[in-house]
A and B are shown apart, each in its own frame.
Chain A
């Protein structure tokens, strides 16, 4: 009893000491900033920024506020992270499967890929991809024009921008509707299989639904969409959708780099499954696709997911290297804000808070996924 009391007392003491030290640090910083007449606080966030951002997902003008400019940067960071996570996973799984392939050439090539990308610092990979992207593409006046409306030059990939009509939203609704129907059908099929041992041909039904419903809506509600083409005016192309070389280089570098790590997670996951299980499945005459889906994958995921969570959070953090090759992510925009008003502490605090928030969300989702695939003890 006394022991318990003492423990509680020590814990309260340590917590109090930590709080005291943080409070002292905070007070001290505040006092010193004040004594040196250094501006602090977030008042500047509502002041007109005047800074240009060349690649933004939402409309942005230099006459917008610092707060909005920073928000545009945060959106770019989120955009790169999200796209990066999906693309890196797709490529990573492919390479990982190739790595355990029984084909000698395929597995060797995958190994070479993994070793090169994994062992070169990401910053160098980014510089390399950026220099290659810039050097291999022509000047706007000598643009490559592989298809009508598509222009490729060292200012970016220009694609026709879709201009949606009312029919576009009908088609979108149709796609959502068919997904809903597929979901219901798969539930019905599962129940039927549990009861009778034989389900419905869900794959066939689903595919035909997904093709039939939206295309029928498309025909009925035409015109659905129009395209705006990019045109060369003066120095650059205007209009259309553009993927700038900085964005492309950043995505290529980040995705290839992270995919190498994910490939290794996939490989270790697959190899962790006991060989005897595959052999047992073969002996029982289970189809190899079913063996993969029902026996190997569920067990491989258990090993792969925790490691992949780390790689996802690293990808989010690594996206801050965008600043080196001129992509306006949160760190680049924040750096400019520091350069203009020298309030470094506030901006660095915001950077930390945003990265922390993104990565906590990523971790939460991955932990949920991990809990789903763990062995359910009965």
Chain B
């Protein structure tokens, strides 16, 4: 009896010690044969299952590009829906390989939460949605208003900071879920609703009369959204960073899903030749073969194609590109040179 107990205890304690051994994420993904991708619980446009249950969206495509570059197949992904509170811990603990889920790059998260950010893929900012009937045209006129907001994000802090900075008082009503918060707004519990602009645009499409609602002009926070990986695994962080850089650079160079093979065969531009692996060996810099970017673009297209597919004029969301344009077109997207 005692012998059995001791044997049992030894086994349990060795299991504890064994679990602390860590291996590289890249090797791990290759040996699993699939990428574990942390996504949202359903934010239309960014990551949400479509009517057939297939995950689609802007954030999903970033993950598909990485899966295509590493594994040669953008479909080899295991999706893990994460609540807002889990998105950091899931990646720092190794539960997911990448979190691609509308996450703001902040100093504390980067430095003190065991994660590393890769590339800002979407420059967002917090704003207000209000009813046309309220007659408000600027957020500074909201003194005394009730505002519905979602918990577990930086939105609450931003809205309180905005009120203090402008000397107005706001009654914030905090909800766990976005749907409940938005429902409270549409049932007139609140005079305004606040979250990031992209999501306001996405939620406004769901009301009966979108034209009765007005997005106020003030954008009162910087929300650079970026995929994130575990802190300390530099090999994996470099890989994810450069795949996304490649997608942005591809748009600048005019490489599309349709013409990528043609460009590879015939382009005389030395930059394009290096990117697509015709010359040089940039693939080996991130421990991949030379066709890494070709596969990624074949799977999801360049950055602009991904954006238009989920937010463009033909979609429900219709988010103008604004800051999220290539630098040569007046936006902030500036890919580091691939060489």
Contacts and interface: CB of A to CB of B under 8 A. Distances in A.
A binds B: yes
Interface string A330-348: 0010011011111010000
B143 interface: yes
A240 interface: no
Interface of A: 10, 13-14, 17, 20-21, 24-25, 28, 31-33, 35-39, 50-52, 54, 62-63, 127, 131, 134-135, 139, 154-155, 233-236, 238, 245-246, 323-326, 328, 332, 335-336, 338-342, 344
Contacts of A338: 85, 152
- Chain B CB within 10 Å, residue with most, of A13, A54, A323, A339: A339
- Chain B CB within 10 Å, residue with most, of A154, A235, A335: A235
A31 B20 CA distance: 10
Contacts of B2: 10, 13
B5 A13 contact: yes
Contact of B85 (A14, A33, A131, A339): A339
B186 to A, nearest CB: 10
A62 B160 contact: yes
B231 A36 contact: yes
Contact of A134 (B113, B151, B160, B189): B189
B68 to A, nearest CB: 29
Interface in B172-190: 172-177, 180-181, 183-184, 187-189
B92 interface: yes
Interface residues of B, number: 55
Interface stretch (B8-16, B40-48, B202-210): B8-16
Contact of A335 (B108, B151, B163, B232): B151
A238 B153 CA distance: 28
B145 A236 contact: yes
Contacts of B164: 62-63
B99 to A, nearest CB: 12
B265 interface: no
29 contacts: A20-B13, A21-B9, A21-B16, A25-B16, A28-B16, A36-B230, A39-B112, A51-B160, A54-B172, A63-B164, A127-B180, A134-B184, A154-B189, A233-B144, A234-B143, A235-B142, A235-B146, A236-B145, A236-B146, A324-B177, A324-B180, A326-B148, A326-B173, A326-B174, A332-B151, A335-B176, A339-B151, A340-B156, A342-B89
Contact of B111 (A37, A50, A246, A323): A37
Going nearest first, the 4 A-B pairs with the smallest beta carbon separation are A36-B114, A339-B152, A38-B114, A39-B112
- Chain B CB within 10 Å, residue with most, of A39, A332, A336: A336
B115 to A, nearest CB: 9
B152 A139 contact: no
A51 B85 contact: no
A14 B113 CA distance: 36
B71 to A, nearest CB: 26
A326 B175 contact: yes
B9 A52 contact: no
Contacts of B218: none
B171 interface: yes
Nearest to B2: A10
A51 B157 contact: yes
A33 B92 CA distance: 9
A342 B231 contact: no
A24 B152 contact: no
A234 to B, nearest CB: 4
Interface string B128-160: 000000100000001111101001111011011
A332 B189 contact: no
Given A336-B152, A341-B108, A342-B108, A54 B173 contact: yes
Contacts of B156: 51-52, 336, 339-340
A342 B181 CA distance: 22
Contacts of A39: 108, 112-113
Contacts of B188: 134, 139, 154
Given A52-B156, A339-B85, A332 B232 contact: no
Nearest to B175: A326
B215 interface: no
Given A54-B171, A63-B164, 16 more contacts: A17-B9, A28-B16, A35-B232, A36-B232, A52-B156, A134-B188, A134-B189, A155-B189, A235-B143, A235-B145, A236-B144, A236-B145, A325-B180, A335-B152, A336-B152, A342-B108
Nearest to A134: B187
B59 interface: no
Contacts of B175: 323-326
A111 B114 CA distance: 55
Contacts of A336: 151-152, 156, 174
Given A235-B191, A335-B152, A24 B16 contact: yes
B170 interface: yes
